[in-house]
Amino acid sequence: MTYRRGALIVLEGVDKAGKTTQCKKLVQALQQSGRPAEMMRFPDRTTKIGQLISSYLERKSNLEDHTVHLLFSANRWELVPEIKEKLEQGISLVVDRYAFSGVAFTSAKPGFSLDWCKSPDVGLPKPDLVMFLKLSPSEAEGRGEFGTERYETTVFQRTVQSRFEQLMKDPSVNWQVIDAARTIEDVHTDIKEHTVNAINKVEEQPLGELWK
């Protein structure tokens, strides 16, 4: 049998674009077609670092802006051994948010450059495919009220969207923009096709390092 690593697949997008729904459907579809796959999400609120982040997002605690940015990054780094192990075992990972959310959200705050925000995540396992679920701010607003967590406001989300657009100009990352304004099934079909292509392609490629 030939050796095949799993693919690292990331879904990004602004709130209400349907990332979590699509990640779950994608993992299910991959498993049903006989491709080993698991879901991960960031922040992973189950670790000690994740609990600090969760309490900050729920507004139960305050953290200084640089500090929380570094905690989000540390939360990814602490899971790198697990990510590498799974990929080596041939399991594809479908990840709900990654370093791109990290950069887009912090750099939407005043005084944070894209470069400063990227630096702690330089060298993370590089996703083989990053799908950006694109939804205009007005379409997102039409999907109902935001929740009560930090960052869940229209004004902030608009800035986040423009930071994502800056990040998507980087050709070193395999971005695919997905129109998320369609039905769940149509979006899923599109996402699955891109993913299966990526899974088939990574066989010949070693795992890369992000932004390096």
Interface with ligand FDM by CB under 6 A: which residues?
Answer: 42-43, 57, 72, 97, 101-102, 105, 151
Task: Identify which of residues 6 and 43 has a Cβ nearer to ligand FDM in the complex.
Answer: 43
CA pseudo-torsion sign 27, 31, 35, 39: positive
User: What's the min distance (Å) between Cβ of 90 and ligand FDM?
Assistant: 26
User: What's the min distance (Å) between Cβ of 145 and ligand FDM?
Assistant: 15
Task: Identify which of residues 53 and 87 has a Cβ nearer to ligand FDM in the complex.
Answer: 53
Tokens at 38, concatenated: 């698991």
Q: What is the DSSP letter of 132?
A: E
Task: Identify which of residues 163 and 188 has a Cβ nearer to ligand FDM in the complex.
Answer: 163
User: What's the min distance (Å) between Cβ of 148 and ligand FDM?
Assistant: 12
Q: ω into residue 43 within 30 of 0, thus cis?
A: yes
Task: Confirm if 129 and 30 have CB atoms less than 8 A apart.
Answer: no
Would you call 145 helix, strand, or coil by DSSP? coil
Please list, in sequence order, all residues whose beta carbon lies within 8 angstroms of the beta carbon of residue 73, skipping any fewer than 6 positions away. Answer: 99, 102, 120, 121
User: What's the min distance (Å) between Cβ of 72 and ligand FDM?
Assistant: 3
User: What's the min distance (Å) between Cβ of 189 and ligand FDM?
Assistant: 23
Residue nearest ligand FDM, Cβ-based: 102
Task: Identify which of residues 14 and 199 has a Cβ nearer to ligand FDM in the complex.
Answer: 14
User: What's the min distance (Å) between Cβ of 24 and ligand FDM?
Assistant: 13
Task: Identify which of residues 86 and 97 has a Cβ nearer to ligand FDM in the complex.
Answer: 97
Task: Confirm if 22 and 15 have CB atoms less than 8 A apart.
Answer: no
Task: Identify which of residues 100 and 199 has a Cβ nearer to ligand FDM in the complex.
Answer: 100
* Residue 56 to residue 65: CA distance in whole angstroms: 11
Task: Confirm if 135 and 46 have CB atoms less than 8 A apart.
Answer: no
* Residue 200 to residue 114: CA distance in whole angstroms: 32
